[in-house]
Chain A
């Protein structure tokens, strides 16, 4: 079995910062696994600005923010980057198994940092009633379709939830010439940042329905319309408030969940920012969901240092 000092799973902002930090704190044998074909994670599809205000005191786009770390990592020979490499198994004694084209390999490390990020909650997780046609996307998938692939998912959009990605996509769809007909938020205020509410929604006159929820999705092959209903403070439907919105696309922006399946399957628990297995660390959005990437960076720098201290002590 191959042995490495430190294995980091995930080459997004969390994993990159952890790798740099561990290196700067004395660890010279680091393997950074990234499942995509480039480093940067979700930053690559975030073409809007607003990144780096805390950390760099500058306003950057997602790819620009990522590039600062990618450039740094490229010049550090002690960090080996393995792309198209997907970790499929972690054990509590710090062995990581990963696949890449042509290879399945298990590496035993002195320490492991899990920087696997998060995923979006789906329509299935919040149990929206109705049919299941084409045209229902997570906000992040719609973002990837438009910004990376140049594909327009639909022309008349209803956004469920007011998470930041949903708000940003409301603006993005509008700029692409699509009509964002409504943002439906079950709570009485936005889940997203104030600046996104102003810059992405109010500035574009996009209607927001607080205290509302989708009561049914209609459409056999492709989304045709949704019905919307007002809810009271206990989230119960208020009779007589039902109305319909015609649309061909529904975006889900109802929150994020840390991706911790490998840790969970290893029988390792996460408590108070640490794991129950000595030498296994978790950072960034896979530890908890942060509002801005700058916080992910700060948390991951700290984790990288903690991992280095653990190995050197």
Chain B
């Protein structure tokens, strides 16, 4: 009952609000950008007696930077000891555990190993350890080659030692965004998708936010626009930072290689990134990457042969057994890089405007801490934060068959037959899960993929695309020609000759 009420409410609000023009309602706080930062802030603010709106230009949430996140919950290593991002990362690593319990997120503590191959690298490893200890990263220790051989059997036997950080973890970045958003909506945050901000004007004590779907009035305004944060900030005359996209290409391996490594495996970090990693994911598939390349275009999500070769060369140094043939998918993401640290500040030149920009790695990990920091900034800037009498902190865990053992699947199917109606056979996703994802807000093929993993397996949707299209069209009451990959312009088919 509980889940159904939530999903129904969410569907109603997210769909109707996205479709109708804004009602000229005045909000206390408006957040621009529904990635992991925007939704984390929205969920945190939903504890208080405030009218909060969250605006997203894309068709669905998490369709920008967050969708390509590696899903690593970093322990806090590889950050300068005096950096804001380092502090927020350590706090975030701690906070995310509670949020995961409350919202049923798929957080798993996997532990990470930064691997050294020679004496020089070991020196650097010790320096990293010291730096991280100043930040307060718990449980760090140097492990020797015997430990590595025993605990990470596929690791290159030439590795001499490693820095082991037990608090590193993994999570599904997009499912985290969806669950945060769903909980925020349950606590009365209003989400508007397909709403692109085009201009912002100061009018007395309000910001007038002109968007593609109408105008929003708000006392406070939070810029969590990711790659476009500089463009938003410039609308209010604040142009002292620029977002430079830094592309990362990632390559996903077949789920049958799930046990390739037991930990997240890192090389020593370079000047510009944490290096090319072997990543465990919440979905089970190992992932290798990312590259780090500065690009001009904020929409350049192309992948290249050069990126693949670089990744393969780097990861094979750590785990030689990685086979190119096991790659089933790849993608690119853009890190919203702007200098070496996060920019999180109240802009005194535009009172009530808070920039949350340049949130590159470890932004996902830091997001719960960033949300707290932003609440604190809002409070200091004069927004009274009064707790609601009732805050729904918990959210029932969404069932994903791929996460649970077959014995449990058996009882679930018995209770609800639709769980036994498998649509995506590579990733074992049922019709029930797909309908659930749509009812909770997915309106596109990608939205369904990110929520359920359907189409994300080795056949890449060759077998299940038609069935998912039909379910989506039926649930949304749209024609099959209206089904898109990720919004208008990305229609899957162009003509329905069977139904006219």
Contacts and interface: CB of A to CB of B under 8 A. Distances in A.
A119 B331 CA distance: 22
Given A102-B414, A152-B493, A129 B305 contact: yes
Nearest to A120: B462
Interface string B471-495: 0000000001100111111111111
A150 B497 contact: yes
A97 B425 contact: no
Nearest to B303: A129
Contact of A101 (B299, B420, B462): B420
Interface string A127-154: 1011111100010110011001111111
A125 interface: yes
Bin the interface of chain A by size. Answer: 35 or more
Contacts of A132: 301, 303, 331
Nearest to A149: B466
A104 B303 CA distance: 40
Among A122, A123, A127, A151, chain B packs the most CB atoms within 10 A around the CB of: A151
A124 B302 contact: no
Bin the interface of chain B by size. Answer: 35 or more
Interface stretch (A16-24, A66-74, A83-91): A83-91
Given A102-B413, A124-B328, A151-B497, A133 B490 contact: yes
A196 B331 CA distance: 34
A144 B459 CA distance: 15
A150 B494 CA distance: 11
B323 interface: no
Contact of A104 (B329, B413, B492, B496): B413
Among B461, B480, B487, B491, chain A packs the most CB atoms within 10 A around the CB of: B491
B83 to A, nearest CB: 34
Contact of A124 (B305, B327, B485, B496): B327
A134 B256 contact: no
A152 B485 contact: no
A140 B465 CA distance: 11
Contact of B492 (A84, A129, A138, A153): A153
Contacts of A100: 420-421
B413 A221 contact: no
A220 B332 CA distance: 13
B216 to A, nearest CB: 26
Contact of A119 (B418, B458, B490): B458
B29 interface: no
Given A120-B459, A149-B466, A261-B458, 15 more contacts: A101-B413, A101-B420, A127-B330, A131-B301, A134-B490, A134-B492, A141-B463, A145-B493, A150-B499, A151-B480, A152-B496, A153-B492, A153-B493, A154-B493, A265-B256
Interface of A: 35, 84, 86, 88-89, 97, 99-104, 119-120, 122-125, 127, 129-134, 138, 140-141, 144-145, 148-155, 176, 216, 220-222, 248, 261, 264-265
